[in-house]
Structure 1
Amino acid sequence: MRMIFGLVLLAGLALAGFAIHTAQNRFSQYKSALASSQQAVVPVKDVYVVRRQLRYGDPLRPSDVRSISWPANSIPAGAFGSMDEIFPQGETGIRTVLRVMERDEPLLQAKVTKPGQEAGIAATLTPGMRAFTLQVDVNSGVSGFLRPGDRVDVYWTGGGGDGGVTRLIEPNMPLIAIDQQTDEQRNNPTIARNVTVEAPPAVVAKLAQAQATGRLSLALVGVQDETESESVEATLREVMGAEETAARRDVCTVRTRKGSDVVLIPVPCPADG
């Protein structure tokens, strides 16, 4: 009887030892896996995002933002890392939204004004650049389909040999305002009277001279188009052909009045000399 009891006791001790050994192995494996996973964790930093959709002109308030963990090696340029950066102590003015931001989108310096600054053109200008306004109509302004954020090629048409010339004077110019509207999310077509472009002072001088001496026309550049138009020029001779251009030079007109109307009558041009 005692022998049976002893054998049972030994078997129990053996089983207990085996269980402890197995548990120790499993615990060691768990610790190794945990250490490996900790080594693989990407370092993060706090980045502030918006809690809801914010549109152009909306005021930015503390309740509109929250912090989230963001991979430290891929933080967007211009992101805010603290509430004090967004709402500096001692600043009483609010920031204003310049571009549409969707929920959970990072808040960037380029998308809001400085504290107390209004959401006008001056707040969006790139350092060193100037805002310059061009006069357009339904024809020269791409039938009203322009909006802030688009890019255009600017053509000048003026006097010259063979009846005038049209020349590309500045390609890929960014539009920052249409009339008084600077909201890039505006989608409804509007017949604009003025468009405002962003350009360095040297280009502003060229545009001012071109606008004063001829007529400007705009050509819309595609959103995905990264090419830059080369030097382009067209004369009346190229458009109509040399023979027809010569024929037009041989015909003059005489103005005559019929009642309240002025009529142009074609007549042969007088011989030179």
Structure 2
Amino acid sequence: MKSTRGLFMLLIALLAGGAAVAFASRWMQAQAKGGGLIAVAAVDVQLGSKLVPEMLRMVEWPSSSVPPGAFTQVAELDGRVVKSSVTRGEPIIEGKLAPAGTQGGLSAVVADGKRAMTVRVNDVIGVAGFALPGNHVDIMVNTVNEGNRRGDQDKAISKIVLERILVLAVAQEASRDETKPKVVNAVTLEVTPSQAENLDLARSVGTLSLVLRNQVETQLGETGGATKATLLGEDHSAPPLVVAAASAPAPVKRAVRRVQPVAAAPVVAVQSATCVEVIRGTVKSNECF
């Protein structure tokens, strides 16, 4: 009795499993019927590469999940340049491509209105090789701030002059899939024309250093730069210059003399005169008027 009941339960489980497989198969077929062919990468494609038919293949893709901007013909992609890396099997979409007619290379990934500029670095300036393509860095210059007035003492200063600058390439490599540090002697940065001018001036007047930023941080910092005085906490500001006003010599007044009346003559009063001490070289004299 127990064995018959067990066989019955097993039969029900087999029937349920078969029904689930049939339902799943019909669902997948229904999804595929409404789909079509789209172009995907047949190999890993690096940033800045020009697409050729050998790099692509057509695959069936459900219509409900076709990515926007996908291509249905390989011929439409012949000669187009990718501006971001594409892995094998990934659909090729318009958002990953440079404008039609763009030539291959690093210039294809430079954003509109930006420029690519290369600066020389070493293992210290380049943040020990951690400044990789796709990262953002700040540019700091160490230079001497010349005094504005004659007699002012020159002061060494370190100042961040550019912030959140995109690293396009290190040496001759622009792939953004690498995460391993790489020590190189040159880094290519994406800058605006005005930033390119500031960067060129900064490297001519001092020593540059790259400061690695958090990839998602967009806030810009405002600093006044670091000098020896601020570093050591010293106050080299000169005390305010107090100029005492020269006191004018006190006027010398001549006493009033009264003339004694003679006979019937009226009394004549002599008005007071003002005298000023005049210094000519080493000679002093009084002039009254």
Q: Is the shorter-chain TM-score for this pair beyond 0.5, marking a shared fold?
A: yes
Pair 172,120 (structure 1): closer, same or farther in 2 beyond 3 Å: same
Q: Which residue of 1 aligns with 2:177?
A: 185
Which of residues 91, 98, 109 in structure 2 aligns to 1:106?
91
Q: Which residue of 1 aligns with 2:188?
A: 196
Q: Which amino acid aligns with 1:186?
A: E
More deviation in 96-105 or 187-196? 96-105
Pair 74,167 (structure 1): closer, same or farther in 2 beyond 3 Å: farther
CA deviation string 1:201-241 (max 9, x = no partner) = 11111111111112211111123x32323222222211122
SS of 1:159's equivalent in the other structure is strand
Q: Which residue of 2 aligns with 1:90?
A: none
8 Å CA contact 1:60–1:96 kept in 2: the answer is: no
* Percent of aligned pairs with the same amino acid: 25
Which of residues 139, 153, 169 in structure 2 aligns to 1:154?
139
Q: Which residue of 2 aligns with 1:219?
A: 211
CA deviation string 1:218-266 (max 9, x = no partner) = 111123x3232322222221112216x79xxxxxxxxxxxxxxxxxxxx
Aligned length: 198
- Residue 168 (str. 1) matches residue 188 (str. 2): no
- Residue 48 (str. 1) matches residue 33 (str. 2): no
8 Å CA contact 2:53–2:74 kept in 1: the answer is: no
- Residue 126 (str. 1) matches residue 117 (str. 2): no
Distance in 1 (CA, whole Å) between partners of 2:198 and 2:72 is 42
Distance in 1 (CA, whole Å) between partners of 2:190 and 2:134 is 10
* TM-score, structure 1 as length reference: 0.59
Q: Which residue of 2 aligns with 1:85?
A: 76
User: How far did residue 155 of structure 1 move?
Assistant: 1.2
Larger Rg computed on CA atoms: 2
Distance in 1 (CA, whole Å) between partners of 2:61 and 2:176 is 30
* TM-score, structure 2 as length reference: 0.56
Unaligned runs of 5+ residues in structure 2 are: 1-29, 148-153, 238-289
SS of 2:198's equivalent in the other structure is helix
CA deviation string 1:78-97 (max 9, x = no partner) = 5434334213xxxxxx4565
RMSD: 3.6
Pair 229,73 (structure 1): closer, same or farther in 2 beyond 3 Å: same
SS of 2:201's equivalent in the other structure is helix
Which of residues 210, 222, 229 in structure 1 aligns to 2:220?
229
8 Å CA contact 1:120–1:182 kept in 2: the answer is: no
Which one has the bigger helix percentage? 1
User: How far did residue 73 of structure 1 move?
Assistant: 9.5
8 Å CA contact 1:98–1:119 kept in 2: the answer is: no
More deviation in 50-59 or 152-161? 50-59
Pair 155,114 (structure 1): closer, same or farther in 2 beyond 3 Å: same
CA deviation string 1:57-106 (max 9, x = no partner) = 58542562225446689844x5434334213xxxxxx4565543234322
Distance in 2 (CA, whole Å) between partners of 1:100 and 1:211 is 32
Q: Which amino acid aligns with 1:102?
A: T
Unaligned runs of 5+ residues in structure 1 are: 1-37, 88-93, 247-273
